[in-house]
Structure 1
């Protein structure tokens, strides 16, 4: 039970800090970028260091990095399919999901298969 309270408090503090940073920056669209994913990832990694140690957390950070790179490739691929190929949203996202999976698991295998 106390783990959930710590996650709630740490996550809330970090999300609030990143939201304030995003609110200060221009354009305002950065507020959403800084408000969610990076702050939750940092809170999760902090709790992982406390509970499991540095080695486990390093493996998890590699998995997060692989997922972020795969998401960037996915986003670029979706944009190309929507704009250049003229596909509708559903087929473009489904095709790009396959690309995301290939990139994410490919990067994890290159990193030693850690999950």
Structure 2
């Protein structure tokens, strides 16, 4: 239970720091970019290093980066399917999920899986 409280507190502090950084940047649309995800990832990695060591945290950080690349590929494909192919939202997202899984698990297997 205390791990969740620590993650909540550290995540909150880092979210606030990233929100202040986002307020300083132009355009204001960057503010959302520095929201919850980076701070929760940093808190989680810090706790992973403390609890399991650096090798485990390295695997976790690689998984986070692979997920981010897969999300970018998914987003690009969804946009293309919605705008160019004029698909409706449900079929476009369903098709793009295949891309997300392919990229995410492809990068994960290249990176050595869960080793």
What TM-score does the superposition give when structure 1 sets the normalisation length?
Answer: 0.96
Q: Does residue 33 of structure 1 match 2:33?
A: yes
Unaligned runs of at least 5 residues, structure 1: none
Q: Write the deviation string for residues 16-73 of structure 1: whole angstroms up to 9, x where unpaired.
A: 1011111111111111110111111111111111111100000000100110000000
Distance 1:49 1:93 in 2: 35
Matched positions, count: 115
Distance 2:80 2:114 in 1: 31
Q: Is contact 2:22–2:31 with CA below 8 Å preserved after alignment? A: yes
What is the aligned-residue RMSD (CA, Å)? 1.1
Distance 1:87 1:3 in 2: 44
Q: Write the deviation string for residues 74-98 of structure 1: whole angstroms up to 9, x where unpaired.
A: 0000111011111111110010011
Give the match for residue 112 of structure 2.
Answer: 112
Q: Is contact 2:22–2:28 with CA below 8 Å preserved after alignment? A: yes
